[in-house]
Amino acid sequence: MIHIPVLKKEVLKYLGPKPNENFIDGTVGEGGHAEALLKEIGPNGKVLGIDLDPLQISKSQWMQSEFQGRIILANDSYVNLKRIAETRKFQPVNGILLDLGMSSAQLEKSEKGFSFKQDQALDMRYNDQSNFLTAAEIVNEWTEEKIEKILREFGEEKFSKKIAKAISETRKSGRIKTTNQLMGVIGDAVPAFYKKGKIHFATRTFQALRIAVNGELENVKIALPEALATLEPGGRLAVISFHSLEDRIVKNFFRDEGKNGRLKILTKKPVMAGSEEKRVNPRSRSAKLRAAIKI
């Protein structure tokens, strides 16, 4: 497999999979974490792998021949994980993993306009069957103020005002339809020095649009209580986030449930990738893992 799961060793450490236990991977992706779990929970332990993106589900189907009868795949959102587990009679649940990052395949091969590296239509939906809002609709139809707000809040973009204004002005003479068009607008709006930074000048805008299109922060807020309700007592919850806003939601949820006596926090601070993993897999640089046990 070419796909490299982030923080694999740390995920196994904090989830502590044992033979014949059952786990939910709420964002199964290409199956990297799920495969690692399945190897630990044989001979009869199972993984329920959920992913909203049908492309990701198809990419993880290789596990069905390798781990016959032990991997169940569901093309759905992790916000519904309690319902999915109940419908599939998937019990008991000894651990849940939520890896909130996007895979490189989603960025580069989906043709949904997630990345500015290819010229594609501005879509950015993980699943176009269940979601009607596109990045093109936000860019072309939302008010300048609303665009500025999502760039500032979801992208933590310091030139959010300039970029939102440039988008608003550009669309007067025709719709902004593609990633290249949008990147050009952003490039014209930001100062020259910004284009020489470590992070590409369009990264934060594209991130903000993707989060807004897919309701990602709201989904995390919904999914965490669902996960807690689904776990057996003594079950373990691990969440990998790649964005400070996501990490804050996870941190606050763990803290509040810890105070309520429902969770025992295993990670006082978020666990980060080591230098070797960062070298081999640059995506891991921004990954933060938090874990807890259900009391």
Per-residue pLDDT of the chain in tens (295 residues, 90 and over written 9): 446 899 999 999 999 999 999 999 999 988 999 999 999 999 999 999 999 888 889 888 899 889 999 999 999 999 999 999 999 999 999 999 999 876 655 566 667 888 888 899 999 998 777 778 999 999 999 999 999 999 999 999 999 999 999 999 999 999 999 999 999 999 999 999 999 998 899 999 999 999 999 999 999 999 999 999 999 999 999 999 998 999 999 999 999 999 999 999 999 999 999 999 999 988 888 899 999 999 9
How many helices (H) and strands (E) the chain has is answered by 14, 7
d(CA 129, CA 54): 10
d(CA 5, CA 238): 14
CA R_g for the chain: 20
Q: Name which of 4, 9, 5, 22 is nearest 236 in CA terms.
A: 22
Q: Name which of 266, 211, 221 is nearest 243 in CA terms.
A: 211
* Residue 127 contacts residue 145 (beta carbons within 8 Å): no
d(CA 217, CA 252): 13
Q: Which two tokens stand for residue 40?
A: 């630990």
Q: Name which of 95, 50, 97 is nearest 233 in CA terms.
A: 95
Q: From the centroid of its chain, how far is CA 168?
A: 29
Helix, strand, coil in percent for the chain, rounding step 5: 50, 15, 40
Q: Which two tokens stand for residue 240?
A: 């990998």
pTM of the complete model: 0.88
Q: Which domains does the chain have, with CATH numbers?
A: 8-105+216-294 (3.40.50.150), 110-214 (1.10.150.170)
State residue 39's pLDDT score: 96
Residues β-bridged to residue 271: 289
